[in-house]
């Protein structure tokens, strides 16, 4: 499938109330398993990839190391692939888009935690400006690239809990205006918080789903438009592997 068609397919799978589920993979093996199980698009998670190559999460690997793994994944499957690029590895937005397109990816997550600067949270306008620069680079390549703008205000517990939804919504609305196609208020939320986020945000909302504890139907009922697993699927497989191996010690 041509790169533009892959990107459009990924975009079309973002459906509030009927979410696309994109298993989070880390290598060609896990990607092939997910596609064989019937999934039509994938995410590549920074944490699982870092674990798989012996690096730390939070930009303990380089962008080039990530691209090497993404190329292996896109070479093994013929479905759209979106990539978690953390906070951008200090790379220029055009370099990020061009690098991802070169290895066959058609979407990205970009978060507002700057790992190379002590884990500070970008200012709201600063993060939106980065999203806008990524959109401009994708438009220059003439690809409907899916930018999934993430905020970490819930993870970092920024501000008062009673004000956190409003804070996340205000930050992500700026990202929507700048050219994001999906919004990711990352965290594990109550149903009430999910409903507020999906009703108050202007684009499909990405929820992190637990492969065993959540269901697609439940998240769909909350208005979610996209589901990914973060590192949870890899962690579950690791726990199962330890159980299988335990009797052989």
Q: In the 3-class helix/strand/coil scheme, how is the chain assigned residue by residue?
A: CCHHHHHHHHHHCCCCCCCEECCEECCHHHHHHHHHCCCCCEEECHHHHHHHCCCCCCCCCCHHHHHHHHHHHHHHCCCCEEEECCCCCCCCHHHHHHHHHHCCCCEEEECCEEHHHCCEECCHHHHHHHHHHHHHHHHHCCCCCEEEEEECCCCCCCCCHHHHHHHHHHHHHHHHHHCCCEEEECCCCCHHHHHHHHHHCCCCEEEECCCCCCCHHHHHHCCCCEEECCCHHHHHHHHHHHHHHHCCC
- The residues, ordered by sequence, that sit 6+ positions from 242 with a Cβ below 8 Å of its Cβ are none
pLDDT tens sequence across 39-95: 999 999 999 999 999 999 999 999 999 999 999 999 999 999 999 999 999 999 999
Query: What whole-number distance in Å separates Cα of residue 66 and Cα of residue 84?
Result: 9
Query: What whole-number distance in Å separates Cα of residue 149 and Cα of residue 127?
Result: 9
- Give the percent of the chain with pLDDT over 70: 100
Please give, one letter per residue, the 3-state secondary structure of 187-246: CCCCHHHHHHHHHHCCCCEEEECCCCCCCHHHHHHCCCCEEECCCHHHHHHHHHHHHHHH
pLDDT tens sequence across 107-129: 999 999 999 999 999 999 999 99
Instruction: Show me where the domains of the chain are located.
Output: 3-246
Report how far apart, in Å, the C-alpha atoms of 191 and of each of 27, 82, 194 are. 32, 26, 5
Query: What whole-number distance in Å separates Cα of residue 152 and Cα of residue 158?
Result: 8
Using DSSP bridges, classify how beta strands 113-114 and 42-44 pair: parallel, antiparallel or unpaired: unpaired
In this structure, is the dihedral angle defined by the CA atoms of residues 212, 217, 218 and 219, taken in order, positive or negative?
A: positive
- Give the percent of the chain with pLDDT over 90: 98
Q: What pLDDT was estimated at residue 1? A: 82
Average pLDDT estimate for 196-217: 97
Average pLDDT estimate for 174-197: 97
Pair of tokens at residue 87: 């906070």
Residue (of 44, 51, 20, 10) closest to 30 by Cα position: 44
Pair of tokens at residue 228: 């990914």
Q: What pLDDT was estimated at residue 194? A: 97
Architecture of domain 3-246: Alpha-Beta Barrel (3.20)
Residue 212 has pLDDT above 90, yes or no: yes
In this structure, is the dihedral angle defined by the CA atoms of residues 133, 84, 58 and 28, taken in order, positive or negative?
A: negative
């Amino acid at each position: 499938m041509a790169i533009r068609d892959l990107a459009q397919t990924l975009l079309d799978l973002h459906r509030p109330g009927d979410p696309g589920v994109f298993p989070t993979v880390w290598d060609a093996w896990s990607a092939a398993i997910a596609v064989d199980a019937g999934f039509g698009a994938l995410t590549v998670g920074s944490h699982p990839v870092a674990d798989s190559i012996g690096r730390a999460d939070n930009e303990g690997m380089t962008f080039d190391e990530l691209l090497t793994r993404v190329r292996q994944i896109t070479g093994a499957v013929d479905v759209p692939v979106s990539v978690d690029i953390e906070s951008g590895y200090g790379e220029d937005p055009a370099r990020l888009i061009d690098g991802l397109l070169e290895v066959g990816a058609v979407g990205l997550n970009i978060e507002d935690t700057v790992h190379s600067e002590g884990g500070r949270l970008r200012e709201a306008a600063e993060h939106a400006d980065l999203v806008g620069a990524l959109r401009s680079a994708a438009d220059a390549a003439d690809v409907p690239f899916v930018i999934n703008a993430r905020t970490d205000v819930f993870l970092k517990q920024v501000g008062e809990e009673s004000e956190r939804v409003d804070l996340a919504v205000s930050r992500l609305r700026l990202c929507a205006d700048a050219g994001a196609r999906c919004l990711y208020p990352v965290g594990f939320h109550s149903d009430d918080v999910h409903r507020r986020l999906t009703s108050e945000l202007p684009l499909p909302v990405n929820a992190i789903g637990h492969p065993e504890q959540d269901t697609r139907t439940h998240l769909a009922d909350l208005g979610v438009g996209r589901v990914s697993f973060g590192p949870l699927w890899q962690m579950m497989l690791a726990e199962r592997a330890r159980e299988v191996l335990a009797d052989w010690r």
